[in-house]
Amino acid sequence: MIEFCSASLVYPNGVKALSDVNLRVGRGEFVFLVGPSGSGKSSLLKLIYRELFPSQGKVFVAGQDVTAIPRNAVPYLRRRIGVVFQDFKLLPQKTVWENLAFVLRVISVPRREIRKRISEALDLVGMIHRCDSFPAELSGGEQQRASIARALVNNPPILIADEPTGNLDPDTSWGIIQILSRINARGTTVFVATHDNQVVDRLMRRVVALDNGLIIRDQDRGMYHHVPEPESLCNSEPQEC
């Protein structure tokens, strides 16, 4: 579903964010991307929805080379990827309902269908009662749930979350991760960058660890910190493209 082939990223100021990343995320997988701040997690995710362009290598999404997509086709790529941001990135002048409706308007969904899909998405994240609120009127956890609802309202096959629990307390964080888990159970590929060790350890899903732009670990049922086990050591080799 998502594939990085020798992808490297160097920022214009010379900072090397990613070095020769080779990674494959299959359809329907739930993957945690872990690592300390500045390890390159956000940069790696941004390559998927073409907010950044790799300096070297290629990135494939659903078999399509995103580095080869012309600029005017990028919106169509982004419509197939739901993105949840640490700072929520909700449109401040729109209500929760309007934020979700905007995503559906963009793809010309009929009005009646819009109502149905928004209700379903808000129901899934437990936000139907706050649909008429503006982002500023919501708590951090509520904003993040609204952001998740927006990311999944057009049923994208991939959902990316960049530090979705970064600004939230432990209980709310666990609630958010459970929602992501439920979305994954419906068949959506979920790729979550986090440095929240509690949720990673509790969920025990595939863990890809980054450090200084390099993949240093890739475990099928991993923990936040490396726990050497004979089985997981077998899976720690980066995959070949």
Please name the residues in contact with 66: beta carbons below 8 A apart, sequence gap of 6 or more.
47, 48, 49, 50, 59, 60, 77
Q: Which is nearer to another protein, 150 or 206 (CB)?
A: 150
What one-character-per-residue DSSP string does 122-187 give? HHHHT-GGGTT--GGGS-HHHHHHHHHHHHHTT--SEEEEESTTTTS-HHHHHHHHHHHHHHHHTT
Return the range that interacts with another protein (CB under 8 A); candidates 13-21, 87-95, 115-123, 173-181: 87-95
Q: Is 49 in the site for another protein (CB under 8 A)?
A: yes
Q: Is 102 in the site for another protein (CB under 8 A)?
A: yes
Tell me the β-bridge partners of 7.
21
CB of 62 to another protein, least distance (A): 15
Q: Is 126 in the site for another protein (CB under 8 A)?
A: no
Q: Is 150 in the site for another protein (CB under 8 A)?
A: yes
What gap in Å lies between CA 168 and CA 149, rounded to an integer? 17
Count Cα neighbours of 99 within 13 Å in the Cβ-side half-sphere: 29
Interface with another protein in residues 194-233 (CB under 8 A) = none
What gap in Å lies between CA 44 and CA 184, rounded to an integer? 20
Q: Is 160 in the site for another protein (CB under 8 A)?
A: no
Pull the structure tokens for residue 206: 């595939």
CB of 7 to another protein, least distance (A): 20
CB burial readout 10-32, b (16+ within 10 A) else e: eeeeeeebbbebbbbbeeebbbb
CB of 103 to another protein, least distance (A): 5
Q: Is 76 in the site for another protein (CB under 8 A)?
A: yes
Q: Which is nearer to another protein, 122 or 215 (CB)?
A: 122
Q: Which is nearer to another protein, 114 or 168 (CB)?
A: 114
Please name the residues in contact with 141: beta carbons below 8 A apart, sequence gap of 6 or more.
168, 169, 172, 175, 176
Return the range that interacts with another protein (CB under 8 A); candidates 98-106, 118-126, 172-180, 193-201: 98-106
Query: Which of 12, 37, 70, 72 is close enough to bind another protein by CB under 8 A?
Result: 72
Query: Which of 16, 58, 78, 202 is close enough to bind another protein by CB under 8 A?
Result: 78
Q: Is 68 in the site for another protein (CB under 8 A)?
A: no
196: helix, coil or strand?
coil
Q: Is 11 in the site for another protein (CB under 8 A)?
A: no
Q: Is 33 in the site for another protein (CB under 8 A)?
A: no
Please name the residues in contact with 227: beta carbons below 8 A apart, sequence gap of 6 or more.
none
Q: What residue type is 201 in one-letter code? A: D
Point out which residues bind another protein (CB under 8 A).
49, 51, 72, 75-79, 83, 89-93, 102-103, 105-108, 110-111, 150
